[in-house]
């Protein structure tokens, strides 16, 4: 994806008005609208004219992917040899579901952001009711930290920051990283 962008200046009060020369005009007209090749210049002129800089061509929304998928996408894009590209390609697309394939292709095409890893926290085995039914911790805003045997409950997912805030990041609690296929 090219890093070169063009910017226009939109009115702060109404997104339908664009800056041209020294006035705001209501309709888009390529001959009348000023385009700026630098965000800084567009921002400076926008501030002087009660406007805001906007990207001339709307950027597609970036796809959220895991850190490992993001690294593989970077490896694929920056591969110098066929072997490097093939290894990244195989990691990205081998044994994936159709929806995952489309999501990864969208991330390659439109760019991506890395979503935070999430974890499920197993309660210590001595706390389980039954050796075959593990207990997972989950957080309920009304009742606080509780246990459940339903690991698919969205409240059983914690980010690293939440693990630290709730004191669950120690060795006492076993953590399972949630993969793309799990959530």
Whether 183 is in a domain gets the answer no
In which region does residue 100 sit, left (phi positive, over 0), alpha (psi from -120 to 50) or beta (all else)? alpha
DSSP state of 127: G
Which tens digits make up the pLDDT trace of 36-93?
667 787 788 777 766 777 776 666 788 988 888 888 999 999 999 999 999 998 988 8
As a whole number of angstroms, the distance between CA 51 and CA 46 comes to 4
Whether 2 is in a domain gets the answer no
- Mark whether 122 and 166 lie in a shared domain: yes
As a whole number of angstroms, the distance between CA 122 and CA 178 comes to 13
Half-sphere exposure of 33 (CA within 13 A, CB side): 21
Q: What is the per-residue pLDDT for 74?
A: 92
Q: What is the per-residue pLDDT for 26?
A: 53
- One-character DSSP codes across 6-37: -EEEEESS-TT-EEETTEEESS--TTTS--BS
pTM equals 0.46
- Mark whether 12 and 31 lie in a shared domain: yes
| Adjacent-strand bridge partners of 137 | 147
Whether 1 is in a domain gets the answer no
- Mark whether 67 and 49 lie in a shared domain: no
Which residue segment(s) compose the domain that 40 sits in? Answer: 7-55
> What is the domain count for the chain?
3
Whether 182 is in a domain gets the answer no
Whether 32 is in a domain gets the answer yes
Of residues 26 and 11, which shows the higher confidence score?
11
Average pLDDT, the chain: 76
């Amino acid at each position: 994806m090219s890093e070169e962008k063009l910017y226009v200046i939109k009115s702060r009060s109404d997104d339908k008005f664009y800056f041209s020369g020294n006035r705001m005009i209501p309709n888009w007209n390529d001959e009348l609208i000023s385009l700026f090749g630098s965000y800084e210049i567009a921002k400076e002129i926008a501030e002087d004219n009660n406007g805001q800089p906007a990207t001339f061509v709307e950027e597609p929304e970036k796809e959220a992917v895991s850190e490992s998928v993001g690294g593989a996408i970077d490896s694929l894009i920056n591969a110098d040899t066929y072997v490097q590209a093939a290894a990244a390609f195989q990691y990205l697309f081998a044994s994936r579901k159709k929806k995952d394939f489309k999501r990864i292709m969208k991330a390659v095409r439109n760019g991506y952001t890395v979503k935070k890893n999430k974890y499920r926290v197993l309660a210590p085995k001595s706390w389980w009711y039954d050796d075959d039914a593990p207990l997972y911790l989950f957080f309920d805003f009304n009742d606080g930290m509780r246990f459940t045997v339903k690991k698919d409950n969205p409240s059983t997912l914690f980010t690293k920051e939440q693990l630290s805030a709730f004191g669950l990041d120690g060795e006492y609690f076993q953590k399972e990283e949630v993969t793309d296929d799990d959530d």
